[in-house]
A and B are shown apart, each in its own frame.
Chain A
Amino acid sequence: EAGVAQSPRYKIIEKRQSVAFWCNPISGHATLYWYQQILGQGPKLLIQFQNNGVVDDSQLPKDRFSAERLKGVDSTLKIQPAKLEDSAVYLCASSARGNEQFFGPGTRLTVL
């Protein structure tokens, strides 16, 4: 079974630029999560999708972050414009109903 795929693995941008991350969850997993992990911290949920609907985006900075899940499968997370404090690893996870979450390798973002 293929795992959660994410791209790119690394991204370096200047502040105020835009960036987008892509996630392909495990086939058949209806729930998809985006987490932000700042260095030295545990992952923090940004947004949760159930199929293509948003379940929880209470901790998403909506003035600069946006996310969508196309046709209930792949998802993209965008930051526009980026700030220095957005430097972090962005993790995508997926789960089948009632089961544990499986994580992708993450995208390491550096904002200069």
Chain B
Amino acid sequence: DQQVKQNSPSLSVQEGRISILNCDYTNSMFDYFLWYKKYPAEGPTFLISISSIKDKNEDGRFTVFLNKSAKHLSLHIVPSQPGDSAVYFCAASLSLTGANSKLTFGKGITLSVRP
């Protein structure tokens, strides 16, 4: 049973426009949500996170929104740039520390930003 779901395998957007990447989860005990970005032949790189007690977190061009009642989060990238083209993973954990800090990942979504 997949607890973190990224149902769209790919997304293509025009440079300068907004990219919206969606993620759904089933485990209501998840307390912390993260987005990682991955380029080919590299490991995932941390992008942005949000605690379950918040509904929005912003860092520059990246904003993550959390809707706990819908068990849904989304990553907004504004404006999108060609360098943003990568695979984006949504991940969740029960805690930031201890045995519950392991990350449960979605399958990832491939973002392509067209010049």
Contacts and interface: CB of A to CB of B under 8 A. Distances in A.
| A and B pair up | yes
Interface size range of chain A in the complex: 20 to 34
A42 B4 contact: yes
Contacts of B103: 33, 35, 43, 45, 101
A97 B43 contact: no
A45 B105 CA distance: 9
A50 B101 CA distance: 11
Interface residues of B, number: 24
Interface stretch (B53-61, B75-83, B91-99): B91-99
Nearest to B49: A100
Contact of B105 (A43, A97, A102): A43
Interface in B57-73: none
B49 A48 contact: no
Nearest to A31: B101
A42 B43 contact: no
Nearest to A4: B43
B102 A56 contact: yes
17 contacts: A4-B43, A33-B103, A42-B89, A42-B91, A42-B105, A42-B108, A44-B105, A45-B103, A45-B104, A48-B101, A55-B99, A97-B97, A98-B97, A100-B46, A101-B101, A105-B41, A106-B42
Interface of A: 4, 31, 33, 35, 40-45, 48, 50, 55-56, 91, 93, 95, 97-106
